[in-house]
Amino acid sequence: MTTSALDIQQLSINTIRTLSMDAVQQANSGHPGTPMALAPVAYALWTNHLKYDPQHPQWAARDRFVLSAGHASMLLYSILHLGGVQNIDESGLPTGELAISLQSIKDFRQLHSPCAGHPEFGEAAGIETTTGPLGQGIANSVGMAISGKWLSARYDRDDYELFGFNVYALCGDGDIMEGVACEAASLAGHLKLSNLCWIYDDNKITIEGSTDLAFSENVGARFESLGWRVVKVADANDVDAINAALGKFKETVDRPTLIIVRSVIGYGAPNKAGTHDAHGSPLGEDEIKLTKEAYGWPDEKFLVPAEVKEHFAATLGESGKAAYAVWSEKYDLYQRAFPSETKELQALFHRKLPEGWEDALPVFETDAKGTATRNSSGKVINAIASRIPWFIGGSADLAGSTKTIINDEDAGHFSADCYGGRNFHFGIREHAMAAIANGMCLSGIRAYCATFFVFTDYMRPSMRLSGLMHLAPIYVLTHDSIGLGEDGPTHQPVEHLAACRAIPRLQVMRPGDANEVSMAYRSALSCNDLPTAMVLTRQNAPTLDRTKYASAEGVLKGGYVLLDSEGTPDVILIGTGSELQLCCEAAETLAGNGIKARIVSLPCWELFERQPESYRHDVLPPKLTARVAIEAGVKQGWERYLGNEGVFIGLDGFGASAPFEKLYEYFGITAHAVVDAATKLVKQ
């Protein structure tokens, strides 16, 4: 095949299509239709518009491309292969190997292939985020666009413009229907994120059939009302129109852009039914043969004409190389002119923290009355922010309640008029907030976001993906139990600790006093590849006397012996959060009754389980089976630490509306209950 038979543009587009068809067919699994229909869109974007160097796929100033319609993953894998995107080593340097080899494409959807059914961040360079649950990718893209604006505002200088990258996200009807997408789009429009472009594949079909079954809104009108510019392309095969639409995005300076592209899914030769339905299943060998004939394509699998790779190298490769060279020269000059800012950027680029940052963590004095752990959290956040300028975040309309405002006079509030602000206001959009925080972390920011713990029900999909992607956002989650009191059971989380602990890799921290809060943040920030749920109280918790009790540094191991008895203990009392104080009260009563109790603080199960078995057995000796755990939540999960003989004191249903003291008494979550349970265990 030569370019005389088919111009290089069409040849490149058809290469994307045939690679996608062949990979899906070989796997006998996947979605060929969207990659086929949107091949011209991806081609136009990557060869003519994307500021991206395939040799440096982690370049901080690169444009980002997010395939939010993750079921069309073969579209991304084909582009990464044809574009020659290089894999990188642990230090971020190119290895000389393709991120997506032709063999990887042949192994599509197979075990250990980087070409998974939906793009997964970290599996290969060029995959900017994990997509699959619809709406997540475009919500992540808002966080990426925010990061571009923030980095520019904070670090660009006159004649030294290093950032301001654009973010492109390709999405479909499923993305646009999801609630998280509307939340994210609403905030993006409000913030006037002019560096954000969503390309919406308006193919009018979902898995069940035509979108007319459940979707009839005017998407363009909705987005215009949300503050977006809307540009329409009547035919996804019209590359000139696509280029013109992308040009309109790049000239827009006061709002994000939605490009609505009309496509016919599974573009190619019609199947036996005379339709183009190739959404969720392989085409079949006969259909592929007919389609390739329509393209004028040889009956050969996984064909990549040499001139197509040469074309991508001459377009994407050369433009990316030139842009990177210009940026590198400018950055070299920047480093000499602004050494302190450079030091910060180097740490940010490599997901590191400033040396000695932890020295700023406060140590709290003993206080029998104590304070709510949300209050001590607020003080710790401000201490951290004073040392880590890119530690930024905010809440879902609850800054005052979650104590998440950075009070430094230079902090400011992020807005369309202040893109350098460190305090964010996400509005009442918990799901989008968590997804946006993921996008910020994907751009190097150490982001936190906050709401009441009960609303993790809305955040869970994004929290789960942060664990899957090895990201490290901190979720500041206050009002952690029935202890919030009068708002009642709608706001009182009971099963949420168990639900969050079930998410792999999510560190659920429930500190018991102010100094445990400080150490919990130290643990969370010291790890750059694990998300943390910081679960905090509304009611006061005494600040323990650390001359009597063990150092709060035990939190760094997830669990520790807070106070031991003289000699071998008779019983172990285990507590977290606000219930830790009840263990302390109970231990004193038990000692007066001649029963020796060991108190174990267990604020983070996930972290504790990563410790050596020898340490875990030192804290919880297997032979000491008389154990009582107390926590203002459901029992689920505690069996791991209580065994068959242990007793759990907590909840087995929802809470109620009343002052928290009365609720704890009513539900039997008291020191007296711990004493009774421990006494029975020892005497049986």
Q: What is the DSSP code string of 40-106?
A: HHHHHHHHHT----TT-TT-TTPPEEEE-SGGGHHHHHHHHHHTTPEEE-TTS-EEEEESS-HHHHH
Higher pLDDT, 267 or 372: 372
When the pLDDT of each residue in the chain is averaged and rounded to a whole number, the result is 95
Looking at 30-34, 435-439, 486-490, 635-639, which range is the least confident one? 30-34
Spatial contact of 42 and 145, defined as CB atoms under 8 Å apart: no
What pLDDT score was predicted for residue 549? 98
Collect all residues with Cβ–Cβ distance below 8 Å to 672 and sequence separation of at least 6.
586
What pLDDT score was predicted for residue 273? 32
Query: Is CATH 3.40.50.970 the classification given to domain 357-542?
Result: yes
Q: Are β-strands 474-478 and 532-535 bridged in parallel, bridged antiparallel, or unpaired?
A: parallel
Query: Is CATH 3.40.50.920 the classification given to domain 557-683?
Result: yes
- Return the axis-axis angle of helices 430-441 and 456-468, rounded to nearest 10°: 20
Instruction: Give residue-wise pLDDT tens across range 87-109.
Output: 998 888 889 999 999 999 999 99
Instruction: Give residue-wise pLDDT tens across range 648-681.
Output: 999 999 999 999 999 999 999 999 999 999 999 9
Higher pLDDT, 484 or 204: 484
Q: Which residue among 128, 183, 341, 430 is the active-site one?
A: 430
What pLDDT score was predicted for residue 114? 97
What pLDDT score was predicted for residue 530? 97
* Average pLDDT over every residue of 419-432: 98
Q: What are the backbone angles phi and psi of residue 513, rounded to the nearest 5°? A: -155, 180
Q: Which CATH number fits domain 29-324: 3.40.50.720, 3.20.20.70, 3.40.50.970, 3.40.50.2300?
A: 3.40.50.970
Which has the closest alpha carbon to 134: 215, 44, 45? 215
Q: What is the DSSP code string of 111-161?
A: TT-S--SS--TTSSTT--S---STTHHHHHHHHHHHHHHHHHHHH-BTTB-
CA 521 – CA 500 distance, rounded (Å): 18
404: pLDDT strictly greater than 60: yes
424: pLDDT strictly greater than 80: yes
Looking at 111-115, 277-281, 569-573, which range is the least confident one? 277-281
What pLDDT score was predicted for residue 281? 77
Q: Residue 661 has which token pair?
A: 């003291």
Number of Cβ within a 10 Å radius of residue 208: 8
Q: Residue 161 has which token pair?
A: 């413009």
Listed in order, the ranges of the chain carrying CATH 3.40.50.920 are: 557-683
Q: What percent of the chain has pLDDT over 70?
A: 97
* 148 CB-contact burial (10 Å; exposed 0-12 / middle 13-18 / buried 19+): buried
Q: Are β-strands 209-210 and 205-206 bridged in parallel, bridged antiparallel, or unpaired?
A: antiparallel
Element (H, E) at 632: strand 627-634
Instruction: Give residue-wise pLDDT tens across range 282-313.
Output: 889 999 999 999 999 999 999 999 999 999 99
Instruction: Give residue-wise pLDDT tens across range 125-169.
Output: 999 999 999 999 999 999 999 999 999 999 999 999 999 899 999
Look at the block and give the residue holding tokens 């005379």.
274
Listed in order, the ranges of the chain carrying CATH 3.40.50.970 are: 29-324, 357-542
* Average pLDDT over every residue of 503-526: 98
Instruction: Give residue-wise pLDDT tens across range 46-65.
Output: 999 999 999 999 999 999 99
Strand-pair partners of 202 = 262
- Return the axis-axis angle of helices 373-385 and 514-526, rounded to nearest 10°: 40
What pLDDT score was predicted for residue 277? 42
Look at the block and give the residue holding tokens 């918990």.
430
Catalytic annotation on 430?
A: yes
Looking at 4-18, 420-434, 482-496, which range is the least confident one? 4-18
CA 70 – CA 76 distance, rounded (Å): 9
Supply the DSSP symbol for 28.
T
Number of Cβ within a 10 Å radius of residue 535: 30
Strand-pair partners of 196 = 167
* Average pLDDT over every residue of 218-240: 97
Collect all residues with Cβ–Cβ distance below 8 Å to 29 and sequence separation of at least 6.
109, 117, 282
CA 467 – CA 479 distance, rounded (Å): 23
Q: What are the backbone angles phi and psi of residue 26, rounded to the nearest 5°? A: -65, -40
Which has the closest alpha carbon to 454: 516, 497, 393? 497
What pLDDT score was predicted for residue 279? 53
Collect all residues with Cβ–Cβ distance below 8 Å to 224 and sequence separation of at least 6.
230
Q: What percent of the chain has pLDDT over 90?
A: 93
3: pLDDT confidence band, cut at 50, 70 and 90? low
- Which spans in 421-474 are helix H? 430-441, 456-468
* Average pLDDT over every residue of 378-394: 98
